Structure 1
Amino acid sequence: MIHLYKSNGFNMVLDVNSGSVHVVDDCVYDVLSCMNEGKNAEEAAEALSSKYAEQDITEAREEIQELTDNGMLFTKDIYENAIDQFSNRPTVVKALCLHIAHDCNLACRYCFAEEGEYHGRRALMSLEVGKKALDFLIANSGSRRNLEVDFFGGEPLMNWDVVKQLVAYGREQEKLHNKNFRFTLTTNGVLLNDEVMEFCNKEMGNVVLSIDGRKEVHDHMRPFRKGAGSYDLIVPKFQKFAELRHQDKYYVRGTFTHYNTDFAADVLHLADLGFKQISVEPVVAPPTEDYAIREEDLPVIFEQYDILAREMIKREKEGRGFNFFHFMIDLTGGPCVYKRLSGCGSGTEYLAVTPWGDFYPCHQFVGQEDFCLGNVYEGVKKTETVNEFKKCNVYSKKECSQCFARFYCSGGCAANSYNFTGKINDVYEIGCKMQQKRIECALMIKAALAED
């Protein structure tokens, strides 16, 4: 299976199963296009005989044959036949999302957590529940040494003392059990101060700083409960924090909506503020919400990704480059096979923990009682639901099995699938189309920067 597309003046060819990426001339591109439509090489040559000289077509066919012989074009899928064995594999828990605070000091309009309440009540996680969660992670991690814990909310800084105590407890336990905790934190920045920054720089492997971009965009979607914007308060703090972290191991993370489909301007605004690690992602919301991304928004969104990709190339060549999370792609290493096939591992290797200790497949399922898997005191009890999540992979969905992007998106988000289709093992179509566009842009950027 190959995928062909044109982007920013490049003729791009992706061999899906091997991951090989090629930039080709017009003749090779057109021959491959014919072959991708079912024609053999001879039929393709005949179809293009009026457009190209015979010698050019012959050279194109020879180039294609050489790449095919070397396992870089039209390669076979070596994973599909092994997917049943993969789906039935024993799993270990490697990551927890600790909902340290079901409360928030902002009232973001698109928040799936309902100002931190998650369809329930406001609550802060106790030290006891947090310790039990870390004990569970250690006990269920098997021989895996590296474990991840994300402090999430609501707003985790509203329960800061417990965050610090849990990090200290984790450091004690990792010595006793030969484990290594990587702690991360997601914050809106309202309570961010020097003490928090100093602690995070010592203990947090990554920090996510929530900001949507331009002041008018951010303040419209991320106000305080009384309506005032939060942009002016958080930006200086975030700039200081990013510099203290040497512009590494953090992300400023934003959300774009129907109201700012020109989001490339928000990404570039954040870059102009000095941030080097940026993620601005599309909102996922029911179509009934006024801010939801709609099918008719997609042409503008695609154009914005193209604008952003071209500007990133320009800035990188000028020595002003920055990373955009959705354009980051590793063509030489990248995620392991398991992750390429099944994604984040929600419900199996990754669990969310509520303030009172209940387990859910991930933070987006919290509050939906049908997906409560157990708790920190009794462990995972709903194994039939876990087994359903284990079956989520790129071959269990017809759309994914036929998609060029499957080994980069890994089948998409189970929560998005459930929220839009009622099934965890389906696809969120609008999200798929945006993901495909991002991958095309990311590959083109690699080609453009490799030119030099």
Structure 2
Amino acid sequence: MENINLMQAKEKVNYLVIWCTNMCNLRCTYCYAKDNLGNEDMDLDTAKKAIDILEDRGTLVLAGGEPLLNFQLVKDICSYIKSQSRDIKVSIQTNGTLIDENMAWEIKNLSIGVGVSLDGKIKVNNLCRSKGREAMEGILNLKNQGVQVNLNAVITKNNIEKLHELVDLAYYMENVNAIGLDLLRSNDLSLRVNETQVYQGIREMWNRVEKLSSLTGRKVLIREIEDAKRRIDTSYKACNYCYASKGQAAVITPKGDMYLCGSLVGKEEYYLGNINTSYALKALKDIEFDECKNCSYCEMCRKVCPSRAILNSRDGILSKEECALRKVCFSIAEENRD
């Protein structure tokens, strides 16, 4: 574990991601996990050991692969947490394509948060992901059961000019609380956006939210803008980008292998051990840049994503598009303080 990007951490985590399976029914072109897909499901014993390292009042995300391909484990995990009377916030991150009426009913009864990956309307979504119609049907099946969802979109050149259409879709489906935005974690230059596109795309997205919230009386939140609002309103001074940079996060694969971040699974230098044998928690060191020191948002900004910098081979180089995303969200937040 002699890596300059790592430092010692504590024995338990506040943020845990369990890969219920490494199987997936999609092959998204930008997927950072595609090299780790296979046909392995996590067993309940491994899942229990993973949950036992999570602090009370911590966050558990069930992911993969496509976690609903191992739906029995999802249900068993929820039962295990309930049997322990643990105060844990549980959510599932899914592509939504497998959610029929029966599964939607079961998800409702689990009382967990639901995040659905969707990059835009069907045609735009299918450029990188496929099965957009099935994903939308899954969301509507959840709606019929009274289940609210959050959408998560990966920003690429395919959807940056059409993010406002994702807002339209969110309002149309009526059970979308928020939209989260994730910049590309890939070396595929053909899909990357530039900072001007980010500024314009997020502005247009926000303008559509404002227009539709005025018309409907309901507001779909943009996760990154809401985060910026909280930081401004509380004069929050950022210390770390994420739980992984605090040494408070872990990702567990179906075999029980442990990594700092889902984006870094399979990279030997970020392997922490195995939950079934031995492991040592570590933290990713945040990356700091001289260019940030004169920025008015410097003390509140979360800096850049360490794992994205590693994946994009840009460790030590400021990501202009990530900086643009932070700045435009802070700017919008300042303009719309309550």
Q: Same-fold call, TM > 0.5?
A: yes
Question: Could you tell me how far 1:290 is from its partner in structure 2?
Answer: 2.0
Instruction: Tell whether the 8 Å contact from 2:11 to 2:53 is kept in structure 1 after alignment.
Output: no
Secondary structure (helix, strand or coil) at the match of 2:58 reads strand
Matches within 5 A, 1:31-50: none
What is the TM-score normalised by the length of structure 2? 0.85
Question: Is it true that 1:310 corresponds to 2:211 in the alignment?
Answer: no
Q: Specify the code of the residue in structure 2 equivalent to 1:352.
A: V
Question: Is it true that 1:182 corresponds to 2:89 in the alignment?
Answer: yes
Question: Is it true that 1:345 corresponds to 2:235 in the alignment?
Answer: no
Distance 1:287 1:380, change over 3 A: closer
Q: Specify the code of the residue in structure 1 equivalent to 2:295.
A: C
User: Residues 278-308 of structure 1: CA distance to partner in whole angstroms, max 9, x if unpaired?
Assistant: 3252541445442222x3xx32331222222
> Equivalents in 2 of 1:332, 1:291: separation in Å?
32
> Equivalents in 2 of 1:159, 1:367: separation in Å?
21
2:76 alignment counterpart: 165
1:291 to 188, 191, 203: 191
Alpha-carbon RMSD across the aligned residues, in angstroms, is: 2.8
Q: Specify the code of the residue in structure 1 equivalent to 2:47.
A: G
1:105 alignment counterpart: 25
2:4 alignment counterpart: none
> Equivalents in 2 of 1:399, 1:359: separation in Å?
34
Q: Specify the code of the residue in structure 2 equivalent to 1:417.
A: A
Question: Is it true that 1:149 corresponds to 2:64 in the alignment?
Answer: no
Which of 1 and 2 has greater Rg?
1
Q: Specify the code of the residue in structure 2 equivalent to 1:233.
A: E
Structure 1: unaligned runs, 5 residues or longer: 1-86, 224-229
1:392 alignment counterpart: 286
Identity %: 20
Matches within 5 A, 1:288-437: 288-293=188-193, 295=194, 298-318=195-215, 319-328=217-226, 329-330=229-230, 340-346=238-244, 348-381=247-280, 386=282, 389=284, 391-392=285-286, 396-421=288-313, 423=315, 427-437=318-328
**Equivalent residues, number:** 327
Matches within 5 A, 1:198-213: 198-213=105-120
Question: Could you tell me how far 1:271 is from its partner in structure 2?
Answer: 3.0
Q: Specify the code of the residue in structure 2 equivalent to 1:265.
A: H
Distance 1:415 1:154, change over 3 A: same
Question: Could you tell me how far 1:252 is from its partner in structure 2?
Answer: 1.8
2:16 alignment counterpart: 96
> Equivalents in 2 of 1:90, 1:208: separation in Å?
29
2:177 alignment counterpart: 277
> Equivalents in 1 of 2:186, 2:170: separation in Å?
30
> Equivalents in 2 of 1:401, 1:199: separation in Å?
50
Moved runs in structure 1, 4+ residues, more than 6 A? Answer: none
Instruction: Tell whether the 8 Å contact from 2:23 to 2:41 is kept in structure 1 after alignment.
Output: yes
Name the structure, 1 or 2, with higher relative contact order (CA <8 Å, separation 6+).
2
Secondary structure (helix, strand or coil) at the match of 2:48 reads helix
Instruction: Tell whether the 8 Å contact from 2:57 to 2:87 is kept in structure 1 after alignment.
Output: yes
2:125 alignment counterpart: 218
2:3 alignment counterpart: none
User: Residues 162-204 of structure 1: CA distance to partner in whole angstroms, max 9, x if unpaired?
Assistant: 111121112223x3xxx31211101111211234323332334
Q: Specify the code of the residue in structure 2 equivalent to 1:420.
A: N
Q: Specify the code of the residue in structure 2 equivalent to 1:163.
A: V
Question: Could you tell me how far 1:254 is from its partner in structure 2?
Answer: 1.9
Q: Specify the code of the residue in structure 2 equivalent to 1:238.
A: I
Structure 2: unaligned runs, 5 residues or longer: 1-6
Question: Could you tell me how far 1:130 is from its partner in structure 2?
Answer: 0.9
2:104 to 171, 174, 197: 197
